[in-house]
Chain A
Amino acid sequence: MLKFVIRRILIMIPQLLILSILIFALAKAMPGDALTGRSINPKANPQEIEKIREEMGLNDPAYVQYYHWIKNVAKGDFGVSYTHKINVVDVIGDRIGNTVLLALCVFLVTYLLAIPLGIISGRYSDTWADKLITGYNYLGFATPLFIFGIVMLFVFGFYFDLFPTGGSVDPQIADGTFAYYVSKLDHLVLPTLSGALISTVGISQYLRSEIIDTKVKDFVRTARSKGVPESKVYSRHILRNSFLPIAAFLGYEITGLIAGSVFLESIFGYPGIGQLFVKSVMLRDFTVVNALVLMTCLATLFGTLISDIILSIVDPRIRIE
C-alpha cells in the first residue's frame, strides 16, 4: 500500500511539472501583465513602471522566469501576488478556508441528496417516483448553475429575506463565538443548496443506472435464492456494488467542486479562491493564477489517489501492492 502511494506520488511529479510549464506558458501568452493597467493613472511614471517590471523579472526570457518560479514553487514559495503585495500562499490562505468549507458542504449535501434519490429511482425504476426524480434530473441537467443560483439568491435572499445575500459571515460578530459559527453556516445555506441541487443530478442519475444494471446481475439472483429479504438484497448486494463506480470518481469531483465554487462565489459574493481566480486572471496576477491552477491540480491528483485507496478497500478485486 505504502509502495503504491509512493509510486502514485512519484507519478504526480512529472504531471505537475508538465502542467506547470503549460500554465506558465499560458500565463506568459496572456496579453499584458500585472503592470499594464497601472497606466490608467496619468501621473504614474512609465519609466518607473518599466523599472519595476525589470525588477520583478517580467522582462527576463520566459525560461529564466519559469526556472526561478518553479525553483521557488518546489520550496513551497509561490511568490508574491502582484496585486495583493503579499505572498500568494497568504492570499490563498485567507480564502481557501471559505472555499474548502463551501466545497465540503456542497459535496456533502450533494451526496446526501443524490444517494437517496438515486436509490429510489433505481430501485423503483419506471414508477412515478422514478419518473419524478428523473424529471428533476433532466431539469437539473438543463439549468445552468448560475441562473439557478441567482434565482435562489433573489427568492430566498431578497424576496423572502431568509438568508444573507453576500459574504461568508456577519462581520459584526466576534470571531470564534458560537454566533459566529452559526452565522457562517447561515451564509453557507444558499450557495450550498444551489450548488448541491444542481450537482446532485449527475450523481443520482448515474447511481440509478448503476443500480438498474446491478439489479439483474447473477449474484443478486443468488442472494434471492438464499431467501434474503428484498431490503437486504439492496443494502447488502446491490447498493454496495453500485457505489463502486461512484467511489472511483470521487477524486475527480474536486475539479467539479472548484468549477462550481467559481460560480457560486461570484453569485453569492462569497470570498473564496474561485472568485480570486477570476479576478487574478483579469488582473494578470500570474503568480496567483499559476498557484491556484497547480494547487487544484494537486488536489485532484490527491483526490484520485484517495479515491483509489478507498476503492481498493471497498473493492477486493483491486489490489494495491
Chain B
Amino acid sequence: MELKIENQTHITEQRKSPSGFSVIWAEFRRDKLALGSLIVLGLIIISVYGTSLILDQDQIVKVDFLSIYQPPSSTHWLGTDYGGRDIFGQLIIGTRNSFTIGFFITIITNLLGLALGLIAGYFGGWVDSVVMRIIDFFLSLPTLMLIIVFVTVVPKFSIINFVLIMSLFLWTGKARLIRSKVLSESELDYVAAAKAIGTPNWKIIISHVLPNVSSLIIVAFTLNLAGNIGIESGLTFLGFGLPESTPSLGTLVSYATNPDVLQNKLWIWLPASCMILVLMLSINFIGEALKRAADARQRRG
C-alpha cells in the first residue's frame, strides 16, 4: 500500500498564530488604555522635542529679577521660579532632558545587560560564573551611596556623565534577566541544530538567540524607561543633581523641598510632578501591553 503524498495544498489550513507586530498591534487595539498611552506619549515627545528646538535654553534659564516667583500669567504660562525663570520653558526643556537621560540610561544599561547576558547565558560554564559573580558583586553594592560618591568625583557634571554613572550601576538587573532567558533559550534544540549545521557561535547568538529574547528586551526596555524618567530627581534633592542651567524634571520637582514653594507656589513643582506621572504611567501601560503581547498566557481573552 504505497501511498504518496500529493500536493499539499488541501492540508495547508495551518495554524496561523499571528506574530510580531500584528500581535502587538492587536493587543493595543484591545487595550484602550495602552493605545491612549501610546498616543499621549507620542504627543508629549513630539511636542517636547519639537518645542525645545524653538525654545532657547539660555533664554529660559536667564535670571530675571523683575519676575521672581510670578504666578502663571500670559507671559509666563506656568509662572516663574525664584530666579525669575520661566517654568514652562524649563518644563519643556526639563522633560526633554529627563526623557533623554532616562532613554539613554535605559539604552546603555539594556545594551550592556544584553551583551553580557547573551554571552553569559549562551556560553555558560566559567564565562557565566564570572559574569554572575560580577553581577552579584554589583547587586550587593550600596548603589545610591556610590552614585553620590561618583557624582562628587566627576570633574564635569553633565548629562552625559550622569547617564554614564547611573548606567554603571543599573545594568546588572537587565543582565540577570536576559541571562536567565538566554540560558533557557540556549538549551532549546534550535541552537544545537544551528551548531550542527555549522553556524558559528557569534552568528547563532545574533541571528538565533537574540531575536528570541527580543520581546523580553522590548518589554524590559519600556518598563525600565518608565522607572528611569525622573531618576535624577532624588539626587537633586540630596544636592547631587544636575546643575540648574540644565533644567530637568528632577530639578523642578526638587524645588518643592522649600516649604514655601511646596505650599504656596504649586505652579513650580506640580506640572513637573504631573509630567513625571503621566510619562511614567503611559510608558508603563505601553510596557504592560507589550508584556501581554509577548507572553501568550497573559494575553487578555
Contacts and interface: CB of A to CB of B under 8 A. Distances in A.
A296 B146 CA distance: 11
Interface in B239-292: 239, 253-254, 256-257, 259, 262-263, 269, 273, 276-277, 280-281, 284
Interface in A294-308: 296-297, 300-301, 304
A26 B234 contact: no
Given A147-B273, A150-B262, A263-B237, A142 B142 contact: no
A144 B234 contact: yes
Contacts of A142: 230, 276-277, 280-281
A194 to B, nearest CB: 13
Interface of A: 15, 18-19, 23, 26-27, 29-31, 138-139, 141-147, 150-151, 154, 212, 216, 252, 255, 258-259, 262-263, 266, 277-278, 281-282, 289, 292-293, 296-297, 300-301, 304
A320 to B, nearest CB: 16
A266 B238 contact: yes
B127 interface: no
B145 A258 contact: yes
Contacts of A27: 149
A281 B152 contact: yes
Interface residues of B, number: 40
Contact of B239 (A15, A212, A278, A297): A278
Given A139-B277, A255-B140, A144 B238 contact: no
A303 to B, nearest CB: 8
Given A27-B149, A144-B237, A212-B298, 15 more contacts: A23-B146, A30-B149, A30-B153, A31-B155, A138-B284, A142-B230, A144-B234, A147-B269, A154-B262, A252-B140, A255-B143, A255-B144, A263-B234, A277-B148, A289-B145
Contacts of A282: 239
B226 interface: yes
B82 interface: no
B16 interface: no
A146 B146 CA distance: 19
A297 B257 contact: no
A263 B227 contact: no
A217 B148 CA distance: 44
Contacts of A30: 149, 152-153
20 contacts: A18-B137, A26-B153, A30-B152, A31-B152, A139-B277, A141-B227, A141-B284, A142-B276, A147-B253, A150-B262, A252-B139, A255-B141, A259-B143, A262-B145, A263-B234, A278-B238, A289-B149, A300-B142, A301-B140, A304-B136
Contacts of A139: 277
Nearest to B152: A30
Residue among A144, A216, A293, A301 with most chain B CB within 10 A: A144
Contacts of A289: 145, 149
B150 interface: yes
Contacts of B142: 255, 258-259, 292-293, 296-297, 300
B263 to A, nearest CB: 7
B297 interface: yes
Interface of B: 136-137, 139-146, 148-150, 152-153, 155, 226-227, 230, 233-234, 237-239, 253-254, 256-257, 259, 262-263, 269, 273, 276-277, 280-281, 284, 297-298
A289 B146 CA distance: 10
Nearest to A22: B146
Given A142-B276, A147-B253, A26 B149 contact: yes
Contacts of A281: 148-149, 152
B262 A151 contact: yes
A224 B270 CA distance: 50
B276 A277 contact: no
B256 A297 contact: no
A238 to B, nearest CB: 16
Contact of B146 (A252, A278, A293): A293
A56 to B, nearest CB: 20
B176 to A, nearest CB: 11
A206 B280 CA distance: 17
Nearest to B144: A259
A262 B149 CA distance: 14
A-B pairs, top 8 by smallest CB distance, nearest first, are: A259-B144, A296-B142, A142-B280, A300-B140, A142-B277, A146-B237, A29-B153, A26-B149
A135 to B, nearest CB: 10
B141 A26 contact: no
A165 to B, nearest CB: 11
Contacts of B233: 144, 146
A3 to B, nearest CB: 19
Residue among B143, B152, B233, B259 with most chain A CB within 10 A: B152
B257 A146 contact: yes
Nearest to A146: B237
Contacts of B141: 19, 255, 297, 300
A278 B137 contact: no
A141 B280 contact: yes
Contacts of A262: 144-145, 238
Contacts of B140: 15, 252, 255, 297, 300-301, 304
Given A141-B226, A255-B140, A255-B142, A278 B148 contact: yes
